[in-house]
Amino acid sequence: MAEANSAAQEQTSPTFNMQRVYLKDLSLEMPNSPHIFLEQAAPNVEVNIGIGGQRLAETMFEATITVTVTTKIDEKVLYLVEATQGGIFEIADIPTEQFDPLLGIVCPTMLYPYLRANIADAITRTSLPPLHLTDVNFQALYQQRLAENEKAPAEESSGIILPPGATRQ
């Protein structure tokens, strides 16, 4: 009897596992080399972050985080790096109200250290000092995206996946 109860409990317990992490895309451009190496001024760095994802199977999801780093000296591009880190996550029996934050906050938080390392490695291979991206508060980004979506027309998507039949309140 106890075995039957524990088996029923296991079937309905929430599941969240990272199955795989991979570098989906990496692009590095240095359009003004080698002349840009002679510049003495400090570079200006601009970083943009994007989050996305898709359902792969009933309980399997891909989450992605894309970072674009543009580094300029005056108006000349020193380098431009764009990288997308992907992960495959198994997600099952998660309450609807927790599903969206899981994909919009938890998954990117887990993927970001891998992305930071890949970007630092790519830049180091240019013979330039590595760029160490700062920590990102994905919860604040998620809240900002929710606020923007409330102001935006309904047909625009945030890139956050909701389970079937769920609607954003």
Q: How far apart are the first and last CA of the chain?
A: 41
- The residue type of 54 is Q
Report the distance separating Cα 82 and Cα 88, nearest Å: 20
Burial class (CB in 10 A: 0-12, 13-18, 19+), 123: buried
pTM for the predicted model, two decimal places: 0.79
pLDDT confidence of residue 151: 82
- The residue type of 69 is V
Q: Does 164 fall in a domain?
A: no
**Total length of the chain:** 169
Tokens read off for 122: 């790519």
pLDDT confidence of residue 153: 62
Cα atoms found within 13 Å of the Cα of residue 140, Cβ hemisphere only:
4
Q: Show the domain range for 140.
A: 14-149
Q: Does 161 fall in a domain?
A: no
Q: Does 18 fall in a domain?
A: yes
Q: How many domains does the chain have?
A: 1
pLDDT confidence of residue 161: 47
Q: Does 9 fall in a domain?
A: no
Q: Does 22 fall in a domain?
A: yes
pLDDT confidence of residue 168: 40
Q: Does 117 fall in a domain?
A: yes
pLDDT by residue for the chain (169 residues), tens only, comes to: 556 555 555 567 899 999 999 999 999 999 999 999 899 999 999 999 999 989 999 999 999 999 999 999 999 999 999 999 999 999 999 888 888 899 999 999 999 999 999 999 999 999 988 899 999 999 999 998 888 888 866 555 545 544 444 444 3
Q: What is the CATH number of the domain that holds 19?
A: 3.10.420.10
Tokens read off for 134: 């700062």
Which alpha helices (H) appear in the chain, and where do they start and end?
2-12, 96-101, 107-124, 138-151
**What is the tens place of the pLDDT at every residue in 85-120?**
999 999 999 888 888 899 999 999 999 999 999 999
Give the CA dihedral 114, 117, 122, 124, nearest 10 degrees. Answer: 180
Q: Does 33 fall in a domain?
A: yes
pLDDT confidence of residue 12: 76
Q: Does 166 fall in a domain?
A: no
